[in-house]
């Protein structure tokens, strides 16, 4: 199970926060801060796995992260997930974002946080990996986009 997905930038500013297990609001913020603290002090040439952040649940949990230029993508998972598998899932997710936003950048994540959430929903659902096939994810997102466009044009016609 994936317990949480956190995306923050090099300064620790959260860009996307998604918890699949309930934590109180202040606890969430504390987890974000601690995770950032743990991840940011690691060099780029060390391994992408971190164990036992005491906040999110002890020895069974792992932080698996990737660092892209200004953004950290951190997945907090339990032992039932494969480490390398998740690492590649992060890659799939980022590539999907890239496809959907046409050269994704941090600004896209900031201004279209809702869209990023919708894309994520097609990859991970309730903490479970739903889809790992990028084309499939993009197709699902596109269906929603079409609906959006048709609705906008409906409104225009109505006017």
Give the residue carrying structure tokens 């994810």.
137
Least CB distance from residue 75 to another protein, whole Å? 14
CB 2 within 8 A of CB 124: yes
HSE (CB half, 13 Å, CA atoms) of 129? 20
Q: Please give the distance of CA 8 from its chain centroid, rounded to a whole number.
A: 10
Minimum CB distance to another protein smaller for 40 or for 84: 84
Own/partner contacts of 10-19, CB < 8 Å, gap of 24 or more, are: 10/40, 10/70, 10/71, 10/72, 12/36, 12/37, 12/40, 15/71, 15/106, 15/109, 15/110, 15/113, 16/109, 16/113, 16/116, 16/117, 16/120, 18/117, 18/120, 18/124
Minimum CB distance to another protein smaller for 29 or for 40: 29
Least CB distance from residue 3 to another protein, whole Å? 13
Least CB distance from residue 99 to another protein, whole Å? 9
Least CB distance from residue 147 to another protein, whole Å? 6
Least CB distance from residue 31 to another protein, whole Å? 11
């Amino acid at each position: 199970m994936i317990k949480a997905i956190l995306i923050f930038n090099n300064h620790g500013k959260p860009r996307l926060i998604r918890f699949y297990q309930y934590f109180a609001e202040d606890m969430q913020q504390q987890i974000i801060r601690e995770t950032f603290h743990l991840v940011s002090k690691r060099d780029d040439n060390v391994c992408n796995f971190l164990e036992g952040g005491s906040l999110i649940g002890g020895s069974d949990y792992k932080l698996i992260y990737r660092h892209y230029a200004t953004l950290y993508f951190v997945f907090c998972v339990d032992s039932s997930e494969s480490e390398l598998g998740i690492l590649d899932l992060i890659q799939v997710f980022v590539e999907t974002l890239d496809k959907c936003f046409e050269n994704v950048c941090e600004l896209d994540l900031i201004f279209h946080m809702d869209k990023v959430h919708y894309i994520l929903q097609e990859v991970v659902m309730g903490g479970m990996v739903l889809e790992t096939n990028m084309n499939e994810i993009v197709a699902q997102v596109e269906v929603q986009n079409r609906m959006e466009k048709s609705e906008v044009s409906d409104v225009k016609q109505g006017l």
